[in-house]
Amino acid sequence: MKDLLETELQNFIKSILPEKNDLELEIQKYAEENHVSIVEDEVANFLKVITGIKKPDKILEIGTGLGFSTISMAKSLGSNGKITTIELLKGRMEKAAYFIEKSGEKEKIKMIHGDGREIINQLDETFDIIFLDAAKGQYGKFLEKCDSLLNENGIIMADNVLINGWVVNLEYPERRKKTMVMNMRNFLEGFRDNEKYELTLVPLGDGVALIRKR
């Protein structure tokens, strides 16, 4: 996606965002030094704004990472709002727990270690927002599994849906990435005639899909 938008536009989008606090800078520094992917600044801000508009009681996040997106959404939750966040990698979840503790948002967040594809089958509650930031080639399967967990008029936000622009131009660098790219493209195109969900694509970061359950 970064290769699809002009650098001047990307820089302008970032320039109008709120100034980052010390914790956000610390998370980003750790992510860069340890080669951990986290949401772009403009995506984190988008998540925070949508959460503030939707005013959800409960959010499900699949893919905690370092907790950057988790904290961004938690800031816009009301005092009774809760986030359940799932992370596959134990070490990454432990680091996320450290950052969440520092954020002061710990009481709003329930962390679960495990494979999201398995954990979501064990959940017995429903959610107003689901944020999907997990295996990119599996978004279609996640949607099927999340359907019963999403409340009516609930929304799904899915990050990195353009996968470096490859989903648009199909110029993926390695043949082994073809399945992932084509799965994501099929996932997005599947909303064209979908009677249950409607989608709009937001050109921020590496592409964010905003999906509403009718």
**At 102, which CATH number?**
3.40.50.150
Within a domain: 85 = yes
Within a domain: 157 = yes
| pLDDT score for 2 | 57
The tens digit of pLDDT for each residue in 144-184 reads 999 999 999 999 999 999 999 999 999 899 999 999 999 99
Q: Note down the domain range covering 152.
A: 7-213
Within a domain: 193 = yes
Q: CB of 81 within 8 A of CB of 53?
A: no
Q: Which residues of the chain have pLDDT under 70?
A: 1-4
Distance CA 207, CA 132 (A): 12
Within a domain: 181 = yes
Within a domain: 120 = yes
170: left (phi over 0), alpha (psi -120 to 50) or beta: left
Within a domain: 1 = no
Report the predicted TM-score, pTM, of the whole model to 2 decimal places: 0.94
Within a domain: 2 = no
**DSSP letter assigned to residue 36:** -
- Domains: count for the chain: 1
C-alpha 142, offset from chain centre: 13
Within a domain: 156 = yes
